[in-house]
Amino acid sequence: MSISLSPWIWISALLSLAVFSFLYKDNPFYRFAEHLFIGVANGYAVTFYYHNILVPTLFDPLFRQGKLLYIIPFIIGILYFTRFIPRISWLVRIPIGITIGYYVGASIPATTQAFIIKQIQGTVLTSTNFQAWNAGSWGIVWSVIVFIGVFCSLSYFYFSKEHKGVLGVTSRIGILFVMIGFGAAFGYTVMARISLLIGRLQFLLGDWLGIIQ
């Protein structure tokens, strides 16, 4: 066991223990650590926001390279601050409208292609999909299961008609597939959360106390 002599490792370790103390109950050490975290996180963001974005994107082109056209987006960006002036606060809708408009416009073809068309292509019963499993003739069985599962899961979320008769049967099958998906997600979530704990313990036992080599 060789305890670290680095002051920063000690600071990191004590801050970690301050956060862990919340498990017993809320206390001033935890609150201190929480507020310190938000302060430093935002200070870090400001640093890179200035050096990596403001300077190369706005200040350099506008003030050093003389690209005066950048005045236009500069003024539109300033309109964000009209939010704090009630008389002209409606002007904030201009930069928001430009940003939202472009984003939702760009998302329509992207979503259609990647999340709908490609997913349907991966679901339909074609020889390409059978072979993609690399499982020989079992590939046909897996593809049929996926096809039935997708169709039935979609039918479960169709609420415009009562779930009776054929729709009732397919939606019952659909919910089973959804439950399997959620069970798989929960199993993986357990791994994720325990991994986070292991990561912290690796630091405390390894870097700080030197128990793990």
Partner 1 sequence: MKIVERLTKIDRRIIYLVLAIVVLIPLISRSPERVRVMPPVEKLYNAVDTIPKDKVLIIDFGYAPQDMPELEPMGFALLRHAFEKRIKVLALCLYVQPLGLAQKALTEVTEEFNSVAQSNTDSIIYGRDYVFLGWQPPPLIPMLGMGISITNVYPADYYGNKTDTLSLMKDVKNYNDVALLVSLSAGSIPRHWVAYAQNRFGVAVAAGVTAVSAADFYQYYQTGQFTGLMTGMKGAAEYEELVETRLNIKKSRKASEALPSLTYGHLVMIAFIIIGNIGYFVQRKRRQK
Partner 2 sequence: MKRTFPLFLVFIFGILGIIPFIIPHPIVQNLDESIRNDILKILVAFALVLGLGSLLRVHMDKIKRKRQNWQYSWILIISFLVSSIIGLFGGVAGAGPLPTFIGSFHFDIQTLYENIFMPLGATMFALLAFFMASASYRAFRARSYEATLLLITAFIVMLGIIPLGYKISPHLPSFAQWIMTVPNVAGQRGILLGIALGMIATSLKIILGIERSWLGGGE
Q: Residues 148 to 207: which contact partner 2 by CB under 8 A? A: 148-154, 156-157, 174-191, 193-194, 196-197, 199-200, 203
Q: According to CB under 8 A, which residues from 88 to 117 bind partner 2?
A: 89-90, 93-112, 115-116
User: What Cα–Cα distance (Å) separates residue 108 from each residue in 99, 105, 121?
Assistant: 15, 6, 18
Q: Can you tell me the distance from the alpha carbon of 210 to that of 134, in angstroms, rounded to the nearest whole number? A: 47
Token pair 């009732």: residue: 168
Non-local (6+) Cβ contacts of 3 within 8 A are 208, 209, 210
23 lines the binding site for partner 2 (CB under 8 A): yes
- Orientation of helix 7-20 relative to helix 28-48, angle to 10°: 120
Q: What is the distance between the alpha carbons of residues 139 and 127, in angstroms, rounded to a whole number?
A: 9
By CB under 8 A, is residue 81 in contact with partner 2? yes
| Three-state secondary-structure class, residue 160 | coil
Which residues in 33-52 contact partner 1 (CB under 8 A)?
A: 41, 44-45, 48-49, 51-52
Stretch that binds partner 1, among 81-89, 152-160, 167-175, 199-207 (CB under 8 A): 199-207
* Residue 142, token pair as written in the block: 């897996």
How far, in Å, CA of 145 to CA of 147, rounded?
5
Q: Among 27, 36, 56, 71, which residue sits at the site for partner 1 (rule: CB under 8 A)?
A: 56
Of residues 94-123, those binding partner 1 (CB under 8 A): 103, 106-107, 109-111, 113-115, 118-119, 121-122
With b for 16 or more beta-carbon neighbours within 10 A and e for fewer, the 66-79 pattern comes to eeeebeeeeeeeeb
In angstroms, give the least distance from the CB of 140 to partner 1. 15
Minimum CB separation of residue 101 from partner 2 in Å reads: 3
Q: Shortest distance, CB of residue 176 to partner 1, whole angstroms?
A: 16
Integer Cα distance of 89 and 73 in angstroms: 18
* Residue number with CB closer to partner 2 (53 or 211): 53
**Residues that bind partner 1 in the complex, under the rule CB under 8 A:** 23-24, 41, 44-45, 48-49, 51-53, 56-57, 60, 103, 106-107, 109-111, 113-115, 118-119, 121-122, 132, 134, 146, 181, 184-185, 188-202, 205, 211-212
